Amino acid sequence: MTATAPLPVALLTGFLGSGKTTVLNRLLRHPGMADTAVIINEFGEIGLDHLLVEKGEENVALLDSGCLCCTVANTLGETLSDIFFRRTRREVPEFARVLIETTGLADPAPILHTLMTDYAVTKWYGLSGVITVVDTVHGLEQLDSHAEAAKQAALAECLLLSKTDLAAPDRVAALRRRLAAMNPSARMIEAVHGAVDPAVIRATGVFDAVGKTRDLARWLGEPPNHDDHGHGDHDHEDHAHDGPHAHHSSDIATVSAYLDQPVTWPGYAAWLETLRRFEGKKLLRVKGLIAIEDPARPHVIHGVQHVFSPPARLPAWPSEDRRGRIVIIAQGIDAAALTAALDILRGS
């Protein structure tokens, strides 16, 4: 990582009782987290006493794993700025990435907005992705009964399935099918007793995936080549043709499509304007890899609700497949309306 490269930031979320705190506690003990700064709400909620090497003057602690842990002092943006400048002044270890834990009832979208739009944050950090812990014992009911649980799952790049040792195999399978319908691009990893490889933090989303064929294809929800079929975390449809595809789960709809031709900048702008006409809280996630004007150098696009990062231009396509790909995940918006929005882009 160069001195000017932004530090990747991942979000760890999960509904009440999902096992998120257990996952975080196991991660904090792991030496693979030595170059990570973890932001939590309260030290007491995690129980760090037996892990502490050094307690900072205010809200910062160094753990025996080498991981830096801190609590949110005022706002998240201020906390991220504070630890960055402490890092610059060598008051804390030189961490290489950040993991933020949310509360069980948190809507991840406002946090993602901060990471994507707050200049005090974006000049030092880059959004990596969302990791959501899902309870396999109660997850199906929680997805039906709590909008927060469904939104946390729909926004994720990686879904950690907890308590699989306690749930019946058919229930785990049913939850997997449900999650795959809600969020077909997300990886699914079992986290028995909260055990997770810290490498999951390093490969959550597009920030780490740009330029890496396998990771970028996974972020978009497809195997990077035919040889990869059967080795992913869940099955994918065959997208050999380029027409729109829709997945449904309860009121969560995912629509995706390939783009054979480059789009124009006016066409891209018109498409964004169409998306902004949808109610913001219902338009959960938009992501894609598309050629805008130049067919040789595609752009990665990423949006949460109505907030879009500037398109990031790649030096080249990450694979031999030169088709663009768009994925839209929404809650409470008819799939036909999302497909019509895609048609605007496809026709530009």
Which of the two residues, 340 and 226, has the higher pLDDT score?
340
Burial grade of 2 (CB within 10 A; 0-12, 13-18, 19 or more)? exposed
HSE (side-chain half, CA atoms, 13 Å) at 208: 21
HSE (side-chain half, CA atoms, 13 Å) at 259: 27
The per-residue pLDDT for range 170-229, each reduced to its tens digit, is: 999 999 999 998 888 888 999 988 899 988 887 655 555 444 544 666 666 654 333 333
Q: Under CATH, which number does the domain 7-207 receive?
A: 3.40.50.300
DSSP state letter for 292: B
Is residue 65 within 8 A of residue 33, CB to CB? The reply is yes
The per-residue pLDDT for range 73-116, each reduced to its tens digit, is: 788 999 999 999 999 999 999 999 999 999 888 888 888 988 88
> Distance (Å, rounded) from C-alpha 14 to C-alpha 17?
8
For CATH 3.30.1220.10, the residue range(s) in the chain are 242-346
> Distance (Å, rounded) from C-alpha 289 to C-alpha 82?
34
The per-residue pLDDT for range 114-154, each reduced to its tens digit, is: 888 888 888 899 888 899 999 999 999 999 989 889 999 99
For CATH 3.40.50.300, the residue range(s) in the chain are 7-207
Q: Which residues contact 83 (CB under 8 A, 6 or more apart)?
A: 37, 39, 60, 68, 70, 92, 95, 98
CATH 3.30.1220.10 fits 242-346, yes or no: yes
- In this predicted structure, the answer to whether residue 50 has a pLDDT above a threshold of 90 is no
Residue 216 has what pLDDT? 64
Residue 203 has what pLDDT? 65
The overall average pLDDT reported for the chain is 82
Q: How confident is the model at residue 48 (pLDDT cuts 50, 70, 90)?
A: low
Residue 20 has what pLDDT? 92
β-pairing, 252-259 vs 68-71, is unpaired
Residue 209 has what pLDDT? 47
Residue 39 has what pLDDT? 93
Residue 171 has what pLDDT? 95
How many Cβ atoms are within 10 Å of 213's Cβ, its own excluded?
A: 16
